[in-house]
């Protein structure tokens, strides 16, 4: 097994931070809000609300009858193990890739905790345009996964650009 200090595992603190912030904000939302109550933060654009999602992103499979909970638990567990192995094999110097993977791992584990303990994911961030358009509610874990995925794509393009530049020399 690689030395964790020299691998991407050195970035696990970031995954842990994501989990702590995610679970703390979900706890605050559940303790302070009534389901679907909207508390405007930026009028006409951003609010805090409490919603439960038994499905995946955008409530995909939320009305599937219960089996999806175990399916998403299995998927999140498998992905988390894969991300840990990836981080362990990744040199610590690959910072952007390591940060991206740590964010995705933290988000996956934050939502995995919800699925195991509550049977659903707690969402509370609501972005909308006045009363005419609403993006599905999400949480800190979802945000970390999205930012991590975007950074992973950015790193991929950056690596391709470096490879092309070195071939041109």
Residue spans of the domains in the chain: they are 14-33+48-168
pLDDT value of position 159: 73
Pair 10, 88: CB distance under 8 Å: no
Name which of 63-67, 122-126, 133-137 the model is least confident about.
63-67
Indicate the pTM of the whole model: 0.87
Flag whether pLDDT at 143 surpasses 90: yes
Flag whether pLDDT at 156 surpasses 70: yes
Nearest to 114 by CA among 61, 56, 67, 64: 56
CA dist 45 and 27 (Å) reads 23
Q: Which is more confident, 12 or 2?
A: 12
Measured N-to-C along each axis, helices 140-168 and 95-118 cross at an angle, to the nearest 10 degrees, of 160
Residue 123 is a catalytic residue: yes
pLDDT value of position 110: 97
Residue 155 is a catalytic residue: no
CA dist 168 and 90 (Å) reads 26
Q: Which of 3, 22, 43, 123 is catalytic?
A: 123
Local confidence band at 155 (pLDDT 50, 70, 90 cut-offs): very high
- Token representation of residue 84: 């840990």
- Token representation of residue 122: 């707690």
Flag whether pLDDT at 60 surpasses 70: no
Q: Which of 3, 22, 131, 142 is catalytic?
A: 142
């Amino acid at each position: 097994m690689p030395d964790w200090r020299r691998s991407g595992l050195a970035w696990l603190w970031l995954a842990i931070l994501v989990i702590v912030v995610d679970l703390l904000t979900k706890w605050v939302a559940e303790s302070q809000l009534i389901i679907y109550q909207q508390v405007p933060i930026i009028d006409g654009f951003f609010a805090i609300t409490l919603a439960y999602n038994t499905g995946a992103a955008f409530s995909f499979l939320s009305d599937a009858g219960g089996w999806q909970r175990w399916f998403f638990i299995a998927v999140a567990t498998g992905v988390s193990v894969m991300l840990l192995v990836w981080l362990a094999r990744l040199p610590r110097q690959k910072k952007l890739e390591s940060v991206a993977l740590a964010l995705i791992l933290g988000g996956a584990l934050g939502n995995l905790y919800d699925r195991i303990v509550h049977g659903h994911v707690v969402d509370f961030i609501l972005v909308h345009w006045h009363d005419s358009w609403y993006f599905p509610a999400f949480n800190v874990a979802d945000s970390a996964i999205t930012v991590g995925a975007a950074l992973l794509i950015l790193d991929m393009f950056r690596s391709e650009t470096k490879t092309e530049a070195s071939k041109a020399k």
